[in-house]
Amino acid sequence: MRDLSLHILDIVQNSIKANSTFIKVHISEKPDDDKLALEIEDNGDGMDSDLLKRADDPFTTSRTTRRVGLGIPMLKESALKCEGEFNIYSEKDIGTKVFAAFSINHIDRLPIGDIGDTMIALITANPDMHFILKLESINGIFILDTAEVKKMLSGEMPEAGEKQEGENQYCVDINEFAVIQWLKEYIDEGIKNIFGGVLNEVDS
């Protein structure tokens, strides 16, 4: 993986395949520990204890059509090779939470990448999904909640994980070009405000 955003894309796609309707991506700077932490939480199918024990095996999968990794082993490797840590928590029929931390100043830490492009790709491909992106550092907190965006567009707010029915649910669709353009600019500005001056690759 070339950057953190690609890891996020990989893990979130696994969550989508696991029938999640709610996915939260939380990226935070922990100044006391010199750590950049990533946490991805979903409400998908989850894993039983046996599958969870083998989740960091690149050849482990719950799929029967072909044997592919869960995307987890590469994230674990990226974290551990730069003095970080990795954990995964999952419960069958409840969901999964993946946590990885990276030493900010380690030479092998991956750059954060284009989080905006990643989130926009996920939102446009899965418009009925409820996504939350939370960014946190000493500079403050940024939150993008697609349920709040839909509320702004229509005056209605779905519950976390609630699927929407009907083609005309929203007055303005979240996939409208103007909305997507605004979302991209909003996320990019959030990245600069939260991680500018904290991560060397982000312009302040």
pLDDT at 107: 94
* 24: its two tokens: 């939260």
CB 106 within 8 A of CB 83: yes
In this structure, what are the phi and psi dihedrals at residue 51, rounded to the nearest 5 degrees? -65, -35
Domain definitions of the chain by residue range:
4-195
The set of long-range contacts for 147-153, using a CB threshold of 8 Å and a minimum separation of 24, is 149/174, 149/179, 149/183, 150/174, 153/179
Q: The tokens 């900010």 sit on which residue?
A: 104
Give the strand pairing for 22-30 and 130-137. parallel
Q: Which of 110, 143, 88 is nearest to 4 (CA)?
A: 110
CB atoms under 10 Å from CB of 175, counted, come to 12
pLDDT at 67: 36
CATH level 3 topology of 4-195:
Heat Shock Protein 90 (3.30.565)
pLDDT at 156: 52
pLDDT at 155: 60
Q: Which of 114, 110, 100 is nearest to 187 (CA)?
A: 114
Tens place of pLDDT per residue across the chain (204 aa): 689 999 999 999 999 999 999 999 999 998 888 999 999 999 999 998 888 887 766 655 554 443 335 588 999 999 999 999 999 999 999 999 999 999 999 999 999 999 999 999 999 999 999 999 999 999 999 999 999 999 888 865 445 445 445 444 547 889 899 999 999 999 999 999 999 999 999 976
pLDDT at 152: 87
pLDDT at 58: 61
Q: How much is the pTM?
A: 0.86
